[in-house]
Structure 1
Amino acid sequence: MSPSAPPFFDGVFVRRLLAIAFPIALQVMLFSSRSLVDILMLGQLNELDVAAIGIAGRALFVVTIMLFGVTTGGALLAAQYWGAGNQHGMKQSVALTLTMTTLVATLAALVFLVLPEQVIGLATNNPEVIARGAEYLQITAVSLYAVSWGSSVSVGLRAMHQPAISTLFSAVGIALNLFLNWVLIFGHLGMPAYGIAGAAWATAISGLVEIALLFGYLHLKDHPIALRWSLFPEVFNAQMINRFLKLSLPTTFNHLAWSGGIFMYHVIIGQAGVDGLVALSVMTPIESLALAMLIGISNASAVLIGNQLGGSNMAQAYRQAWAVTVINFGFAVVTAGLMLLIRDPVLDLFAAMTPETRGLTEHFFMIFCVGMIVKSLPMTMIVGVLRAGGDIRFCFYQDIAAQWMIGIPLTAFCAFVLKLPLEWVYAMLVLEEVVKIIGSSIRIRSKAWMNNLVAG
């Protein structure tokens, strides 16, 4: 490291960060590509399918984020156990994580199977959109198990700095999803054209095949994350469950509140009309793809900083906390610039959009690019730093205040009382990120988040 360079620009650290971040980012892109492929292909048919799959996708997103919240306890423990050199403790964390996520996935799948019309009806009054979205939601409910098991295994692989393994099988899953979409949506290879139901079946089947191949590979290679049945009875003891729940429950509620808030933004814009709903549905997978690298860096930061905290290297962890914040901000600026350059070619892919919807989506696109730069700061601070030290309660309270007490009420006021144009309503989504930047910066400087969770 050069003596004249700021101390946090450690070349070795940056290389390790990116080595973990790139596979995670690729995995996020592949995961997001599932919904993008569905919307792109259905977008060749009509806007109602796009609107329906957009609402259903947001409902699935709420559960997916909640599952990621459940895995947080396991991720924190696994990263710190690995940093402390305790491989068996790391494996126990993964086994307990898989058990807990399976329970949550089962409950959510039952809701989607029994009450799909009620879920879709929260965001629209259009009966045709409700019918199509409910059909998609019922079929894809089973895919929640693939998300549950895949995210649980990723906890261990990331702690071991081996996220590329799950990324590889994600690539296989998205390739299969693309092929099945082509066959089932449009009716190729002698199959009937199922439309939106075909997209749902493609998502469900490809997800389950992906996770089956991943588990099979891990067992074939006798990988440490190839969990044996004998491991599960070990994790059913009060001490392990209490410690896991102490970390996971606040984060799960945090994720549920946050993703539920995102769904509420979807509801607010969707109630204004189908045009806004279609524009938002088109933007959702584009946003996920654009944010992939920023998400990758944030999750990689949590692993590396968690390793430092598990090894009681507090000064190093604090230095790296600011380093990752600066690095992610730089990537956000570059990504926003690239997104602006490819805006028109990307939107040209959605052939079924009317001129009015296309114009609204272009405005949404511009606003998102600016908001992404702002969003990169709290994303890193919260996901990559504060949660790495187990500072879960602060993150929860901050999200509740920023989103549900400030962001959502003001957005609803602008939409339903002031009746501002949808572009201005969409721009209000950035407000909560500004609040989080202020709160997270103060919290990091306080060093109250720096905890060794596995000491002793």
Structure 2
Amino acid sequence: MSSAVPPFIDRIFLRRLLAIAFPIALQIMLFSSRSLVDILMLGQLNELDVAAIGIAGRALFVVTIMLFGVTTGGAMLAAQYWGAGNQHGMKQSVALTMLMTTIVAVCAALIFGLMPELVIGLATHDAEVISRGAEYLQITAISLFAVSWGSSVSVGLRAMHQPSISTFFSAVGIALNLFLNWVLIFGHLGMPAYGIAGAAWATAISGLVEVALLFGYLHLKKHLVAFEWSIYPEVINVALIQRFLKLSLPTTLNALAWSGGIFMYHVIIGQAGVDGLVALSVMTPIESLAMAMLIGIANASAVLIGNQLGGNQMEAAYRQAWAVSVINLACAVVIAGLMLLIRDPILNLFAAMTPETRVLTENFFLIFCVVMIVKSLPMAMIVGVLRAGGDMRFCFYQDLASQWGIGIPITAFCALILKLPLEWVYAMLMLEELVKIIGSAIRIRSRAWMNNLVANESPNTPA
């Protein structure tokens, strides 16, 4: 143990946590930077493009979070299989994850491709914003397949403590996205200037190329997660699918309810006019970038705590549960301080904002720094601890109650009935997080979440 840190945090655990968290955080930052690049470049042209891409981005976010929810079941199984030494079981978990995420991606792509105006129209009545947002959403729906396949492979790589592989290819993808944005939005290298459609095609193409390169590399290296098609008949098995759905379905519903709630906050603020939509659209990628390290720590802790639970190291898992909560909170305080220092240089990049929108966005920025600190605790407790032990039902009910039962109704009442300033409405995002802190802390202390999901399986026997 180190005397420089609390006694329940040992240096070996901290090193392992950060070794997994940094690549995950970098990958999230790279993923989030796609929308930031789009908004920055389109922000040089028109505020309406920024509002349109913000709504479309939130709709895509709902499905992306759903896909991550589907992968959670596979991630829990893969982490525990790896901890138990069952490589074939881990391989099956990754293959089943890919199958399930592809089904979700197909359904979502059909909705966004066939009725994009209806989706965008939920958040605004501005005809021009709806038209531009629908065009962007229809094209970028293709990128959902890249998210599906990439996130499924990442499940196995994280379980093996090798997230840097997918992170590298994410960097390649974002570099290609940046180049294609420059070419297709503004019309360089002899191409027409496609504007918002160019941004959409850049996102779709770069995502698919990134996944193709990742898969090619894994097969070239004959990596464990580079499985052949022959594994799919094994995983199309009623018992395996039932167990996967038992873990993933509550998480997917949880993810749908939560991300749908985030979209609902966007809808509520959007009813006040385009200025609120623009400010929120600017803040969305900034929020994602700022939260990346916190999300990385939470996901890394899920892997390590899952390894401990799979190896029946229950006391170590319990100590680490509290450790990651403290680490995430401390990290959030540091990031919030850094964000305040660079607020003006960041917002200066959005040249097309009117003075009124700029003031509103500055206020949103300050509020977000406080919200981020509050959010760091439930994020670590839910994503990093409770889900690692398969405690999905509790997480789902808590999210449902805190967001749809408390946060959204109070926010809607303050915005639409009391007509409070948008800054106050934006600050309401903190309400549900405060509720989750209390509920999650009580649940962790109860130890009811500590489950070994692979206890009856032999390390040498296929699942």
Alignment TM-score, normalising by the size of structure 2:
0.98
Pairing 1:359–2:353 present: no
Give the partner amino acid of 2:213. L
User: What residue number does 1:161 align with?
Assistant: 161
Relative to 1, partners in 2 of residues 1:188 and 1:380: Cα closer, same or farther, differing over 3 Å? same
Which amino acid in the other structure matches residue 255 of structure 1?
A: A
Q: Aligned partners of 1:209, 1:4: CA distance in 2, in Å?
A: 45
Alpha-carbon spacing, 1:5–1:123, altered in 2? closer, same or farther (3 Å)? closer
| Displacement after TM superposition at 1:239 (Å) | 1.0
| Partner-residue secondary structure (3-state), 2:185 | helix
Q: How does 1:18-417 map to 2 (within 5 A)?
A: 18-417=18-417
Amino acid at match of 1:26: L
CA shift, 1:7, in A, is 2.6
* Residues 228 and 423 of structure 1: CA distance in aligned 2, closer, same or farther (over 3 Å): same
Aligned to 2:419: 419
The separation in 2 between residues aligned to 1:327 and 1:400, in whole angstroms, is 26
Q: Which amino acid aligns with 1:304?
A: L
Q: How many equivalent pairs are there?
A: 456
CA distance in 2, matches of 1:69, 1:4: 36
The amino acid that maps onto 2:357 is: T
| Structure 2 Cα separation of the partners of residues 39 and 149 of structure 1 | 25
Cα contact 2:2–2:11 (8 A) shared by 1: no
Q: Distance in 2 between matches of 1:293 and 1:217?
A: 26
| Maintained 8 Å contact 2:120/2:134 | yes
Deviations 1:159-207 (A, max 9, x none): 0000000000000000000000000000000000000000000000000
Report the Cα distance in structure 2 between the residues aligned to 1:455 and 1:95, rounded to whole angstroms.
21
1:425 and 1:57 mapped to 2: Cα distance?
20
SS of residue in 1 equivalent to 2:428: helix
Using the alignment, how far apart are the partners of 2:32 and 2:325 within structure 1? Answer: 24
Alignment partners' CA distance in 2, 1:365 and 1:3: 37
Measure the CA separation in 2 of the matches of 1:405 and 1:2: 43
Q: Deviations over 1:219-239 (max 9, x none)?
A: 000000101111111001111
Matched AA of 1:202: A
1:4 Cα deviation after fit: 8.5
Q: Does 1:443 align with 2:443?
A: yes
Q: Which residue of 1 aligns with 2:16?
A: 16
Output the CA distance in 1 between the equivalents of 2:366 and 2:23: 28
Q: 1:377-417, CA deviations, whole angstroms, 9 ceiling, x for partnerless residues?
A: 00000000000000000000000000000000000000011
Q: Please, which runs of 5 or more residues in structure 1 have no aligned partner?
A: none
Q: Which amino acid aligns with 1:86?
A: N
Runs of at least 4 residues off by over 2 Å:
2-7
Q: Percent identity?
A: 84
Q: Distance in 2 between matches of 1:202 and 1:52?
A: 16
Is contact 2:378–2:433 with CA below 8 Å preserved after alignment? Answer: yes
**Residue identity matched to 1:296:** G
TM-score by length of 1: 0.99
Alignment RMSD: 0.7
Q: Distance in 1 between matches of 2:392 and 2:174?
A: 33
Question: Residue type matched to 1:196 in 2?
Answer: I
Is the partner of 2:125 in helix, strand or coil? coil
Deviation at 1:5, TM superposition (A): 5.6
Amino acid in structure 1 at the alignment position of 2:340: L
Give the CA deviation at 1:118: 0.1
The answer (yes or no) to whether the contact 2:364–2:423 under 8 Å persists in 1 is yes
Distance 1:135 1:158 in 2: 35
Paired amino acid for 1:107: C
Stretches of structure 2 lacking an aligned partner (at least 5 in a row): 457-463
Q: Indicate the SS of the match to 1:352.
A: coil
Q: Secondary structure at the match of 2:302?
A: helix
What is the CA-CA distance between 1:9 and the residue it aligns to?
1.9
CA distance in 2, matches of 1:93, 1:416: 46
